[in-house]
Amino acid sequence: MQLITRPSSQAGFTLVELAVVLTVFGIVVARGIPALSDYTANSAIRRGASDLHYAANLARSEAVKRNIRTELRITPSSWAVFNMSVTPAVQLQGAGLDPAARASNATVGFASNGRTFPAGTQAAIDMTRYGATCSSTIRCLSVRVSSGGAPSICEPTKSAGSYGACP
């Protein structure tokens, strides 16, 4: 008895199946790109606000630790902490911000007790995305320094009393 064998079929995808998969993939990617763009913008703003929060804490702690007056100077693209007890002022530390984020110009002084200098002053440093405007999808942040010297990150567009709103 002889076995009759049939030719084996080719394994793989047909051209039609491949076209359908690529079309569906293209639609999914096209719908996800705006969300990814918003995510990267918000991440840059969040990193910038975190950097400024760190810088304010550093300036405050250096003032207390060294028993001197310090100053945090912020430009749109960088920050620096200065020792103000000597002339000329000496930079203690500084760094650049995320290139995609921009901060408002500000100067915040800290006395040797960790409170703002001159006494009672408060500061608000706004963070935005370079080339974008704040909206419901692009969430701009603010770093606020209270008169007691404590920095916090908040969202200026939120209504008072809601979580994350600025004081």
CATH number, residue 131: 3.55.40.10
Q: Which tokens go with 131?
A: 């080339």
The pLDDT, as a whole number, for residue 50 is: 94
pLDDT in tens, 51-100: 999 999 999 999 999 999 999 999 999 999 999 999 999 999 999 998 88
Environment class of 79 (CB within 10 Å of its CB; exposed 0-12, middle 13-18, buried 19+): buried
Answer yes or no: is pLDDT of 9 > 80. no
Q: Which domain does 111 fall in, by range?
A: 17-154
Residues 6 or more apart whose CB falls under 8 angstroms from that of 104 comprise 74, 76, 124, 125, 126
Number of domains in the chain: 1
- Per-residue model confidence as pLDDT tens digits over 103-158: 999 999 999 999 999 988 999 999 988 777 888 888 889 999 999 999 999 998 88
Pick the more confident residue, 113 or 31. Answer: 113
- Sign of CA pseudo-dihedral 152, 158, 162, 167: positive
**Residue 10 maps to a domain:** no
DSSP state letter for 146: -
Torsion of CA 149, 58, 104, 111, to 10 degrees: 40
Identity of the amino acid at 113: N
Q: Is residue 43 part of a domain?
A: yes
159 inside domain: no
> Is residue 73, in this structure, part of any structural domain at all?
yes
Indicate whether 165 belongs to any domain.
Answer: no
144 closest CA partner among 92, 106, 97, 111: 106
In a domain, 128, yes or no: yes
